[in-house]
């Protein structure tokens, strides 16, 4: 089960990646607007996923994937 904070996934290899990136920018703009008008603050976090057969993986021992090497980005909204 996914967390309540999960919003969407951006797939960099998808044909509609530009649409997904514009959705991500809309989410960031909405969170920014929300932060300006409420006392509680939120932030958008993009967490990279290696994906299958990613040549950049190379059996790394780090628990995260840098966004530049990621095949997919999971987008979350967290409250601070």
Span 27-55, mean pLDDT?
A: 92
Assigned domain for 15 exists: yes
Pair 21, 54: CB distance under 8 Å: no
Mean pLDDT of 11-31: 95
Q: By C-alpha distance, which of 2, 71, 69, 79 is closest to 45?
A: 79
Read off the pTM.
Answer: 0.84
Number of domains in the chain: 1
Structure confidence at residue 56 as a pLDDT band (50, 70, 90) = confident
Residue 72 covered by a domain:
yes
Distance (Å, rounded) from C-alpha 59 to C-alpha 37? Answer: 45
**Strand pairing partners for 73?**
10, 48
- Asked if the structure places residue 27 within a domain, the reply is yes
Q: What is the CB neighbour count within 10 angstroms for residue 60? A: 12
Asked if residue 62 belongs to a domain, the reply is: yes
Distance CA 13, CA 9 (A): 12
Residue 38 lies in a domain: yes
- Most confident range (mean pLDDT) of 2-16, 21-35, 39-53, 57-71 is 21-35
Give the range of the structural domain holding residue 61, as residue numbers without chain letter: 6-79
13 has pLDDT over 70: yes
The answer to whether residue 1 sits within a structural domain is: no
């Amino acid at each position: 089960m996914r967390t309540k904070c999960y919003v969407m996934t951006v797939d960099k290899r998808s044909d509609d990646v530009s649409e997904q990136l514009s959705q991500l920018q809309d989410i960031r703009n909405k969170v920014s607007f929300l932060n300006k008008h409420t006392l509680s603050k939120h932030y958008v976090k993009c967490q990279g996923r290696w994906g299958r057969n990613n040549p950049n993986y190379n059996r790394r021992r780090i628990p995260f994937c840098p966004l530049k090497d990621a095949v997919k980005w999971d987008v979350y909204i967290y409250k601070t």
